[in-house]
Each structure stands twice: as C-alpha cells, then as structure tokens.
Amino acid sequence: MTSEYPIIQVKNLSKKYRLGKSKQQYLTIRDILTKPIINLSHKKPESQFIQELWALKNISLNVYPGEVVGIIGRNGAGKSTLLKILSRITLPTEGKVEIYGRLGSLLEIGTGFHPELTGRENIFLSGSILGMQRKEISDKIDEIIKFAEIESFLDIPVKRYSSGMYVRLAFAVAAHLETDILLVDEVLAVGDLRFQKKCLSKMNDIGKEGRTVLFVSHNLNSIAKLCHRTLLIDKGSIIEDGESSKIISSYLNKNIDSSGEVKWGENRPFLIDKEGYIQVKGLRIIGKDGNISKVIYDEDSFNIEIEYEILKPLNNPWIGYSINTDDGMVVFCSGHNASESNNEGLFLPGKYSSICQIPSYLLNQGRYNITLIGHIPGIRMLFQEEAILNFEIIAKKEIGGLSCQPGVIRPNLKWRIKKLPPSSF
C-alpha cells in the first residue's frame, strides 16, 4: 500500500556534461609561442570543439513509499546518471530533487567504501553516514556478514577484495541497514549466479517490507518479477512510465532490429566495454543457405554469429547470448569461454567470430529476439545489449495434426513403441 505523499520528488531535472577541452585552460610557453603559427594556418581553436551533452533533460517524477520501480533503457540513455543525482554523487544542472527518508545506494563497484578500511570498519562507516547509532549497526552486523559470505576476509582492507567480494559486502550493507530507499544499478551482474538470485530474493523481501526500491537492470525478467512499475528512459528523457509488462513489451518492440543483422559503428554507437578490452562488431542470423535471414523454417538449423575484436589481452571472457520470447521470457542462454578455445583461456588482440548452431525443431513457431552478453565469470560484465535482433520461426509442416503446438520449444524427440502382452495389465 503506497502513501499519497511521494518519498521522492523530481522536478524538471536536467544534467549537462561538457565534452572536449575547457575554454579556460592553463597555457604553456609552447602554447604561447605556437599560437601565431596556428592562427596563420586557419586551424580552429581547440575551444571550438567543446560539445554539450544533456545526459538528462527535463525529467519530472514522483515515487511513493513502498514502490519497487524498474528503470530500463539502452546504454547511455541516462539511467545511471539519474541514480547518481538521487544519491547526491553528482549535482543536477537544472531542476531539483526532494527525498524524504534515509537513502542507501549500490551503484558502481568502489562507491561508498574506503579502500584502506577493513570490511567491518566500512560497515560501521556506511551506517554512520546514514545517521545510525553504533548499537543499531551492531545489531545488524551479524546478518550482513552472513549474507555477504566473507567471514574470513572481514578484517582485511577492502582494497584487497575481488570484485565479487566487494559487491557481496556492498549489497549486504545496502540491503540490511535501515534505509527507507534503496537504489540499485546493474552491479548485480557481477558475481556468481547463486548470489545474484540471493540478491534478487532479498530485494523482493525489501519491497514487501514497504521500503522503496529503484532498480536499474538490463535483465528484463528480473524487472518483470520484482517491479510493478517501470520507467523507460531514452536520450535523457522518460518516454514511458507504467505497468512493467506493458513498458517491457513496448521497449522490446522499439529496440529490435528486424534486418537479421546488427553492425555496430554504422547506425549505432560502438559497443565496447568500459575498460576497453573488447569491441563488438556485428551480430547476425545465418540461415540454412548461408545467407543472413530473419525468417527460419522450423525444420532447418541456423547459426548465430557474433563478430568482435579483442583490443587488449583478455583472460577467459564468456561470449554468448540469450534467446527470448516477445514478452521478455528467456528461452535459453548459450555461450563459450576462451578456455574452450585454448588451454590458457587467454584471448590475444585480434578479430574473432563466434558461431553457434541452433538445431532444427528446437524452437516452436513464433517470434523471438536475441540479447547479446559478454562477461568475465564472477568478476565483471563486459557488455549486454538486450533484445537487439529479432527473428521468426515458421512451421513448414504439421506435427501431430498441429501447425503450432503449445510451448516455447518444439524438440523433435525420438519415441519407441512396443506392444505389450495382455498379461502385463
């Protein structure tokens, strides 16, 4: 049950970043001596190359106590910027935010903890920042330690933690300390699958407790399960706000490429991980005849091909995809590790193509889409582009008198029939 008074009020919020060199920069002797020559060559001053990027533009939003709100959108849409402003990590350029209650956030690995302090000391530091008394924190610390599963490392400085350990402790602190509002970005993609499920279950419990959650994720299944309300952000603006199932369906229809192929760097920005290790070049569906196609007959096998370039040596990345139904349900995931290609599990710089064959009669008649995924297992996400390519499976002939049987998959399984003697009944 939500209150009639919002716990978060966002009014005409905008955030502007300046790209390029500042007009006010320090000049060296070399700059002063070469300036006349630059002017003679008619070269544009560097200050003219400054560009303005509006990461958010005129956003207004009310969130009520007890709401669990999902936030979805393509990479660079402004989702993380919104949470950073709500967390007071960065200030807005225009507009204002009013928050009523304690706020905890889990945005980026490294946010909120002091690297020189131990895990235990950081728990008390985080609680103190939230205005909690030492006894309140002490009452919660056993739950936090048990949830994070890092008992052996609790008194070691967190700068020595792995990414997975850091996120486990950070989520445990954010979820168990007495906050009225919890902001969670895509950091839950880091860590093992079992812990991700544990975190999602805890977020579900937090929602049932009446606390407010804002959840940014590319995992549309998690958004659909946890959030009754979802915001769709595109180019810094909220373009849709409503029931999660309707917003997710609308997003998938807007986001999908229907040509059978996606090429990055042509009609869309390059897909590259934050640390510059891997850049995805293309994703395509290849039919039985070897041509790119978005329509496949159920009796034919087909290939999914991912082209990418390794820019710096990368240890044991997992490259793959998920196939999803039109309403966002994941049918299955598939991928491969570098260790499957060579003994060392190391991808050296160069261009690569990963091809996966989908057998005939696996998918039922219908429309599907592909989400592209890359990560280093248990360490960090490299990239994730959801529902970017669609295709359709068409039944060429009836099976069992039905052209379209119930279910998502339609495997051609082998049956044996034998006649039993009357005495067997």
For tokens 């040509």, the residue is: 259
Which residue has 């005849």 as its token pair? 289
298, 410 contact by CB (below 8 A): yes
Non-local CB neighbours of 91 within 8 Å, separated by 6+ positions: 85
pLDDT > 60? residue 339: no
pTM of structure: 0.61
Dump pLDDT digits (tens) for 260-318.
Answer: 899 988 667 788 888 889 999 999 999 888 989 888 888 899 999 999 999 999 888 99
319, 356 Cβ separation under 8 angstroms: no
pLDDT in tens, 218-241: 777 778 878 889 999 998 999 999
Residue 123 contacts residue 135 (beta carbons within 8 Å)? no
The whole-angstrom separation of Cα 179 and Cα 83 is 16
Rounded Cα distance, 221 and 305, in Å: 24
* Confidence band of 126 (pLDDT split at 50, 70, 90): confident
The full set of domains in the chain, from first to last, is 8-254 (3.40.50.300), 261-394 (2.70.50.60)
CA-based R_g, the chain, Å:
26
Task: Report whether 20 contacts 51 (CB < 8 A).
Answer: yes
Instruction: Read off the pLDDT of each residue in 182-203 and give the average, rounded to a whole number.
Output: 74
Distance, in Å, from the CA atom of 71 to the CA atom of 82, rounded to the nearest integer, reads 10
Q: Look up residue 100 and give its two tokens.
A: 């009523």
pLDDT digits (tens, 9 = 90+) for 24-68: 555 566 666 666 665 655 555 544 556 788 899 999 999 999 899
What is the model's pLDDT at position 1?
A: 47
Given a cut of 60, whether residue 23 has pLDDT beyond it is no
Among 12-21, 117-126, 345-354, which is the least confidently predicted range? 12-21
> pLDDT exceeding 90 applies to what percent of the chain?
27
Q: Do 171 and 188 meet the contact criterion of CB atoms below 8 Å apart?
A: yes
Q: pLDDT by residue (tens digit) across 364-385?
A: 888 899 999 999 887 888 998 8
Element (H, E) at 346: strand 346-347
Residue 90 in this model has a pLDDT that exceeds 50: yes
Q: CA–CA separation, 334 vs 354, rounded Å? A: 11
The residue with greater pLDDT, 334 or 174, is 334
